Amino acid sequence: MFLSLCRGTLAAQTAPFYAEIQLPELSRLLEQARESAPTLVSQSFAQQEASARLDAAKADYYPRLDMGANFGLTRNTYAQGTYPDEQNAALGFNARVSRPLYHWGAIQAKIRQASLDFSNETLQRVFVLRQIKRGLRADYLSLLLNRLSIENLRLRRQIAEDNAARLASDRAQGILTNITAEQAEINIAQDALNLEQLENQQSRILADFRRTVGWNEPLQLDQPPPRPDISGILAWVEQGRAQGLDAWVSDSIEVKRRQNLIERERQELIRIKAAQRPLINFTTSIGQSQRNTSAANNVETISTFIGLDVSWNVFDGFQTSARKRESLLRQRRLERQLESYQSELRSQAINIVDQIAFLARQFQLDERRAALQEQAFTFQQRDADEGRTSPQVFRQQQLGMQESRLATFRMRVQLLLALNDYLDLTLPVYVGD
């Protein structure tokens, strides 16, 4: 649901897009993460806990049944001296049903607090999911880049191995100095180490996919990183700067969460104030006990009551006034923090958009440079086919062309991740996320 909304919105605005829109394999990986990522499973338990708290808060509306029993010595002393005191040892039972009638909004406030807690856990799940997806996107794009880098390193190592015999001969004849020869050996060893590191990183990322999302299928990695529409992005940047970059702030996940915390504190203040007002309950009770009468001792009696029960905390040692002051101060602190955070978000949006603009312009230069390199390589390849260039020189030229192409792919990834950061920061919360 979210992805389809995102596609429609972004297509209409020529705005940034998530990489998985053009990478079906990555899209399937992210969909599996939504279902089986361990951190999301843990967050679902937190949502269920919040849901249980909400049910518990709503239970205050229902009648409460209490039953009890007592056994011991009972003594009744009458104020008028004409009635003799009574004393007896007996077993008694009682049952009491009560339901809140008017608590000055305290029960509604408690339910509202539990509802806000559940909303915040839902927002947290969206945030966690976006963080997981961000990490998976970055890792998948790294896999694509590493595959291309490994091809380049293998070509570089082949060139170095082809030159190894010549370098050894030149060194033996004294044509090559020891320092130059050792530098060449270091470069060969460095290329081997870089290749080993990239292959190790590929294995680590694939192992992380298996561990974090249960992905056990082999990855094809048969597409290069998607190419963003640079002219469209630059136009979008200028349009955003002209129209303002803060319309989304009130819909940000963290802003909504902080707003919920402020509202929760307002509801807490309602509950605190209610604690010092008369609380009215509807009550009915029935009790069985034994009494001494003028005719006999330990006579079974049943007492019933139906009516209103009123309790009023008149003085609690200034505890309620201190709690009210604490709640008001906490509310003000949260409001100031929210204002500061919204200002920080606006600043982040401006910085990310500026970064996107710089990366897009750099990408244009890198693409032009790579295009010229590929044009030159076309002539170099023709010379190699016609025997005018040695295989060693041609492989060096091929490596230069591939390095230039790889640089554009690296810039694609940087630009895609910057665009995704902006989307994660500014997209509103959807239930289907």
SS3 82: coil
Tens-place pLDDT, residues 6-32 = 433 333 345 578 899 999 999 999 999
Query: In this predicted structure, what is the pLDDT of residue 93?
Result: 87
pLDDT greater than 90 at residue 144: yes
Q: What average pLDDT is seen over the chain?
A: 86
For 132, residues 6+ apart whose C-beta sits below 8 A from its C-beta are 33, 37, 39, 40, 212
pLDDT greater than 90 at residue 92: no
* Angle of the 178-213 helix axis to the 24-36 helix axis, nearest 10: 50
Query: In this predicted structure, what is the pLDDT of residue 15?
Result: 59
Chain centroid, CA 375 distance in Å:
46
Residue whose token pair is 């680590």? 204
Mean pLDDT of 210-235: 89
Domains of the chain and CATH, by start = 2-426 (1.20.1600.10)
pLDDT greater than 50 at residue 399: yes
CA distance 305 to 288: 12
Walk across the sheet containing 279-291 and list its strands.
64-76, 86-102, 279-291, 299-311
Query: In this predicted structure, what is the pLDDT of residue 294?
Result: 62
Most confident of 116-125, 158-167, 246-255, 298-307: 116-125
Distances (CA, A) of 340 to 71, 336, 348: 62, 6, 12
163: left (phi over 0), alpha (psi -120 to 50) or beta: alpha
Task: For residue 413, name the pLDDT band (cuts at 50, 70, 90).
Answer: very high
Query: In this predicted structure, what is the pLDDT of residue 112?
Result: 96
Query: In this predicted structure, what is the pLDDT of residue 41?
Result: 85
CA distance 243 to 248: 12
Task: For residue 91, name the pLDDT band (cuts at 50, 70, 90).
Answer: confident
The two tokens of residue 254 are 């963290």
Kindly provide the residue ranges of all beta strands, DSSP E only, lying in 211-254, ordered along the sequence: none
Query: In this predicted structure, what is the pLDDT of residue 165?
Result: 67
Mean pLDDT of 125-138: 93
- Burial label, 194 (beta-carbon count in 10 A; 0-12, 13-18, 19+): middle
